[in-house]
Amino acid sequence: MAATLERLDGRIALVTGATQGIGRAIAQRLASLGADVIVTASGRDPDKLAETVGLIAAAGRRAHSIAVDLTDAAARADLIDRAESALGPIHILVNNAASAGAFAPLSKIDLPARRAAFEVNVHAPVDLIQAALPAMRAAGWGRILNITSETVTQPPIPYATPPKYIHGLVAYGASKAALDRVTRGLAAELHGTGIHVNAVKPYKICASENALALARATLPRNPDWIEGVEMMAEASAILIASSLTGVVANSREVLAMTQSPLYSLDGSAVIGDWATIPELPDV
């Protein structure tokens, strides 16, 4: 029996890194369930952030955007306050923004790049969680979702992709592994409070705008590695709008273990299931 998703009417969500791709898709799916949504990005592409706001508003929900540099602890210190001033207390926090710091093997990646990865992928989520928790505790209800990565696991040899791609993401994977540990520890700490904490990652390659070229190159040889942004959005919706907590899993695992269908981003149609391989858009 598929998971029953709770309506999110009256809930306010904050989704970081939402100019496009996974962050935008999650924001749209939460809006389809009734949530009002605040989206953030670095501010480098205000037009795309405005597009995300428009999609949420088109779903009939309140929407707001905030430009913030999550690499800067001082700049992000008042993000939750700014979000609450815009729409109200935050009930749902989705830590989607991420940074690789630099694409370089561990034998060469420098300290500033390593720090940049951990700043965005670990320290920023923890800071935002700590700032959002008082309102969640007051409401007796909260959902925290961290977006993690398959790169937390070292692939077996021989590699299915060129070694440079594997070695270049070790520091990034290490930061996401730390985020996984944060997720499990916080879920245990908050158990019984009504605040649920989970993490989800793409199965292999999510065919978002940034990964579309890689998805096209991989599709002929490993079609089962590819998923659409709808898969991540649906898995995120399940982990937010259900009673699950302490889950750290990939998107397909979430749909499979809950026997849930795959919905369109507006929630209006079933478009597949956990095994669905998307049709990639033309160049």
Which among 159, 165, 172, 203 is annotated as catalytic? 172
- The candidate with the shortest Cα–Cα distance to 13, out of 82, 126, 127, 91, is 91
Query: How many residues comprise the chain?
Result: 283
Q: How far apart are CA 134 and CA 81, in angstroms?
A: 11
Q: How far apart are CA 66 and CA 49, in angstroms?
A: 9
Q: How far apart are CA 162 and CA 141, in angstroms?
A: 45
172 as an active site residue: the answer is: yes
Q: In what order do the strands lie in the sheet with 142-147?
A: 63-67, 36-41, 12-15, 92-95, 142-147, 195-201, 248-250
Residue entry with tokens 């979702």: 145
H/E element, 64? strand 63-67
Catalytic residue positions, numbered: 172
